[in-house]
Amino acid sequence: MSAFGWKLKGDGRAIPEGEVVAPGERLSWPRTIGLGAQHVFAMFGATFVFPIIMGLNPQYAVMMSGFATIMFLLIVGGHIPSYLGTSASLVGAVTAIRAHEGATSADVTGGFLIAGALLALVGVIVHFAGGGVVAKVLPPAVTGGVVMLIGFNLAPVVASAYWPKDQWTAVLVMVFVTVFAVAVKGFWSRIAIFLGLIFGVLVSWLFDAVFGGISQTAADGTVTKALRLNFSSVSSAHWFGFPTDITTASGTLTGPHLPVFSITAILLVVPGVIALIAENTGHVKAVAEMTGENLDPYLGRGFIGDGVATAIAGFIGASPTTTYAENIGVMAATKVYSTAAYYVAAIVAILFGFSPKFGAAISSVPPGVLGGITVILYGMIGLLGAKIWVENGVNFGAPQNLVPLSAGIIIGVGNVSIKFTDNFEISGIALGTIVVIVMYHLSRWIAPHLRKEELAHGKAYAGGAAINAGDVYEDGQQVPSNRGQDVEPDLK
């Protein structure tokens, strides 16, 4: 398949009944540009919210998402139509890194570079040895547990950093996003986060006009009143220019910089790589079922594409990336899988990334709005772990699954720590992940009879560590996969 040699589908205006627009095809350019705009809206909300949470420039992240998407499409040869937005899988690691005294954004992005390199390395292994190698180390039970502890570990961030600053705005935004995502069908439900941001900004403006500002506590303990919305930085920002540091009421959102490597940061980002593997595998499987193409031979290249993009992002001081379920939802709704639409979306994102005024505007999102959105997004990360378990039929009646996962999840969510020296300890997500992986495999090694009983019960797994990475076999009969029928706006 040529990277840019798209074949016009039919007359370019309408899709024939019962057919789809394949990755190597396209509609007319005006319609393709319109579809590209839909993909921009679909990825936009989470792509700039997560960098703000991580203390990084969201304008830079949007720009990087465009470059990352183009790199990904070239590496996979156009076989896997996907958009790469900012990943949520490393948000927990960033929170833990910044909690260490003296940690900076350079330590954070150094961790991103290592995470991307590890994901690319996994991709090389999968490409040449097959996905079964990864599946043996990271079966669905382990992957689901790690993803769950990553998501639920973030609960205190919402409770302490965003929600208390403007609780009623947070409540209204949470209700709006929930209702819109559930009650509205089609494309509009895919951009519920983006619409929630707009709604939250309008609510903040109204509350400022009616009730006045909210209390803010400075680092020295001084309490002052400030409006929820402050667009002073927007008026002074240039229309065109490169991303730089952005100063907000909550702190500095760091722009381009070179990474710094620390053992602490590296240990904290490794669990996020497991979540990235799960995300990418699930999304490749979803695209495969929608397009009707066998994409297993390109799974390794998908890992490499995302890994290279994340590593480069870390090197230049930007946010990590991953394939986006929201954009898969757009494809499911439109039946257009053309990579041409993704190139259009990527170019639009890059152009936005060259506008400091755009960066200043999206950096002005009030904390109450972030509180209402993150309470949903963080919970969705955690529940994605449960989704992996359910779709792969993980048996929690088996103690070799139940016991090690229980211990690891509580350690990760509760930020339990083991202190080795005065200067080195492992805690939270990193320690929980180690416990899940090591104790899971130890349990199966010391009690092989339990594994035999589990298989005799009627279920075995085909596939790897993923969101429904393979089909389930029950009593010798293949149970059809439901992947692709449920492409709700889940984890980024």
Measured CA to CA, the distance from residue 31 to residue 413 in angstroms comes to 46
Domain boundaries, the chain: 7-158+212-364, 396-456
Q: Please choose, from the candidates 120, 83, 70, the residue with its C-alpha nearest in 3D space to the C-alpha of residue 301.
A: 120
Q: What is the pLDDT of residue 219?
A: 55
CA 350, 352, 353, 355 dihedral sign is positive
**Residue 236: alpha-carbon gap to chain centroid:** 32
Q: What is the pLDDT of residue 113?
A: 95
Helix (H, G, I), strand (E, B) or coil at 27: coil
Q: What is the pLDDT of residue 473?
A: 37
Helix (H, G, I), strand (E, B) or coil at 219: coil
Q: What is the pLDDT of residue 308?
A: 95
Q: Concatenated DSSP letters for 84-101?
A: EEE-STTHHHHHHHHTST
Measured CA to CA, the distance from residue 409 to residue 132 in angstroms comes to 25
Q: What is the mean pLDDT of the chain?
A: 79
Q: Is the pTM of this model over 0.85?
A: no
From first to last of the 492 residues of the chain, give the pLDDT tens digit: 556 678 887 777 777 777 777 788 888 888 888 888 878 877 776 787 788 888 888 889 989 999 999 999 999 888 888 889 888 778 878 888 888 878 889 999 999 999 999 999 999 998 888 877 777 887 888 888 888 887 788 788 778 777 888 888 889 999 998 888 888 876 677 677 778 888 988 988 898 888 877 766 655 566 667 777 777 777 777 888 888 877 776 678 888 899 999 888 888 888 888 888 877 887 787 777 777 777 788 889 999 999 999 999 999 999 998 887 777 767 776 778 888 889 998 998 999 889 888 777 777 778 888 888 888 877 877 887 888 888 888 888 888 888 889 998 998 888 787 877 766 677 777 788 888 888 998 988 887 766 555 544 434 333 332 223 333 334 444 444 333 333 333 434
Residue 74 has a CB neighbour count (10 Å cut-off) of 13
Helix (H, G, I), strand (E, B) or coil at 477: strand
Task: Specify the pairing of strand 7-8 against strand 25-26.
Answer: parallel
Measured CA to CA, the distance from residue 132 to residue 469 in angstroms comes to 11
Degrees, nearest 5: CA angle 333-172-93: 75
Q: Where are the beta strands (DSSP E) in 96-222?
A: 214-217
Question: What is the Rg, in whole angstroms, of the alpha carbon atoms belonging to the chain?
Answer: 22
Amino acid (1-letter code) at residue 213: G
Measured CA to CA, the distance from residue 220 to residue 420 in angstroms comes to 33
Q: Please choose, from the candidates 64, 39, 41, the residue with its C-alpha nearest in 3D space to the C-alpha of residue 51.
A: 64
What is the per-residue pLDDT across 293-347, written as a single tens digit (0 to 9) for each?
777 888 899 999 999 999 999 999 999 988 877 777 677 767 788 888 899 989 9
